[in-house]
């Protein structure tokens, strides 16, 4: 099988098809689970804040603002590390917000019967764009290069709009 077949972007070759396996499988559940874990888990700052020793569960959303500068003053972390944690926190918040739009697009597309290979392809693009967005947001410090983050953001959100538009066309 080819990479495209494994990603659900093209049908199985004739030698691999039977009546029960002739359709392209939908990977919607896998993409939803992956993007949930990515947005809510991997981009979460909890692990990084624990590493630096300023994760306070009583009010974790205030940790960076309340304790970050003190950590820099006390020499427990560098200014660059603090700024990276701030960017990671923002990437996390934006990805959590974007996840709801992704879920809406996927569910509408599934409900409307958007062709599986098209939906799988859009979910691949969304996932790659979200990973690129997260990495660009966290790692890029240069103001001009930060525009790369914006390109990834638009790519991810446009795929959600395309899913919704395709669903809308099919539900007329």
Has residue 3 got a pLDDT over 80?
no
d(CA 102, CA 26): 16
Percent of the chain with pLDDT over 90: 66
Alpha carbons within 13 A on the beta-carbon side of 29 = 2
SS3 57: coil
CA 98 to each of CA 47, 54, 126, 133: distance values in angstroms, whole numbers, following the listed order: 22, 27, 10, 11
Specify the pLDDT at position 65: 79
63-67, 70-74, 139-143 — which is least confidently predicted?
A: 63-67
**In sequence order, which ranges of the chain are alpha helices (DSSP H)?**
3-6, 28-37, 46-52, 63-73, 79-112, 116-139, 147-170
CB contact set of 19 (below 8 Å; sequence gap of 6+): none
Query: How does pLDDT run across 94-127, given as a tens digit for each residue?
Result: 999 999 999 999 999 999 999 999 999 999 999 9
Query: pLDDT per residue over 33-70, tens digit each?
Result: 999 999 999 999 888 888 888 877 777 777 777 788 88
């Amino acid at each position: 099988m080819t990479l495209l077949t494994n990603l659900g972007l093209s049908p199985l070759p004739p030698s691999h098809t039977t009546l029960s396996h002739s359709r392209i499988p939908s990977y919607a559940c896998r993409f939803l689970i992956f993007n949930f874990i990515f947005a809510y888990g991997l981009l979460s700052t909890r692990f990084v804040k624990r590493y630096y020793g300023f994760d306070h569960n009583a009010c974790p959303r205030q940790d960076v603002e309340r304790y970050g500068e003190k950590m820099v003053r006390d020499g427990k972390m560098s200014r660059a590390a603090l700024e990276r944690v701030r960017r990671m926190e923002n990437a996390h918040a934006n990805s959590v917000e974007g996840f709801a739009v992704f879920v809406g697009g996927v569910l509408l597309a599934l409900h409307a019967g958007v062709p599986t290979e098209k939906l799988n392809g859009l979910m691949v693009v969304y996932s790659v764009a979200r990973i690129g967005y997260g990495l660009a947001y966290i790692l890029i410090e240069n103001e001009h290069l930060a525009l790369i983050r914006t390109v990834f953001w638009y790519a991810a959100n446009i795929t959600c709009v395309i899913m919704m538009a395709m669903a809308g066309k099919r539900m007329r």
